[in-house]
Amino acid sequence: MADMQYPNVTVMDHPLIQHKLSILRDKATGSKQFRELVKELAMLMAFEATRGFQLAESTVETPIIETTTYVLAGKKVAVIPILRAGLGMVEGILELIPAARVGHIGLYRDPQTLRPVEYYCKLPEDISERDILIVDPMLATGGSASAAIQFLRERGARNISLLVLIAAPEGIKEVVECAGDVRIYAAAVDSHLNDHGYIVPGLGDAGDRLFGTK
């Protein structure tokens, strides 16, 4: 479902996605199930986010006859998780697109300023030739996603999509203002951010829930 205010924002209202997201939000859901759900949600979202991929005509010989078929046109893909929590979304996407390369951008939010601090980056060498899927479960202030987009742009990346599970309106606005051509896919857009920069109602700290660090 395209957002009326922002044409490049798609909120995925598929019943399977909404059902899994409800369990993910529940504070009683433990790390094991949380990880499984993040993986499944990423896979379902990637299915929709890759709808625009180009096809090329091919031929195949079935046991009956030779026929025209359609295969992916060969555009290369890079999945870029924003560490840490983005890591939880990588495996599900690689199950759908096994030939994709994976680049990592390490950013954490300074708890006082809420600004992203970069601590790691390793990207595929041919990043400028790839369709990019940035993945991160949470889009809160939008600082981390905008920094990652800027970082990738400086290295020549052009065709960028951002897949998040939960977005705050503040984060969407920030990314649209910084990078209006980036397509944003979210399973939900929540109400607002609280005073600590957490999404309300959200799901809490995605990294801590994925990795059991709190």
User: Out of 113, 126, 181, 213, which one is annotated catalytic?
Assistant: 113
User: Out of 35, 101, 109, 183, which one is annotated catalytic?
Assistant: 109
Contact flag: residue 206 with ligand URA (CB under 6 A): yes
155 is catalytic: no
**Is 157 buried (19+), middle (13-18) or exposed (0-12) by CB count in 10 A?**
buried
Contact flag: residue 157 with ligand PRP (CB under 6 A): no
Q: Candidates 37, 130, 136, 163: give the one binding ligand PRP (CB under 6 A).
A: 136
Distances (CA, A) of 2 to 5, 7, 26, 196: 9, 6, 26, 29
Nearest approach, Cβ of residue 197 and ligand URA (Å): 6
CA 88 – CA 113 distance, rounded (Å): 25
116 touches which of ligand URA, ligand PRP, none (CB within 5 to 8 A by kind)? ligand PRP
Strands, DSSP E only, in the chain? 9-11, 55-61, 66-72, 76-83, 101-102, 104-109, 116-122, 130-135, 138-139, 160-167, 183-189, 192-193, 199-200
Binding segment toward ligand URA, per CB under 6 A, in 39-47, 148-156, 175-183, 205-213: 205-213
205 is catalytic: yes
208 is catalytic: yes
Nearest approach, Cβ of residue 60 and ligand URA (Å): 45
Contact 197, 20 (CB under 8 A): no
Binding site for ligand PRP (CB under 6 A): 82-85, 108-109, 114, 116, 136-145, 171, 197, 205-207
Catalytic residues: 109, 113, 205, 208
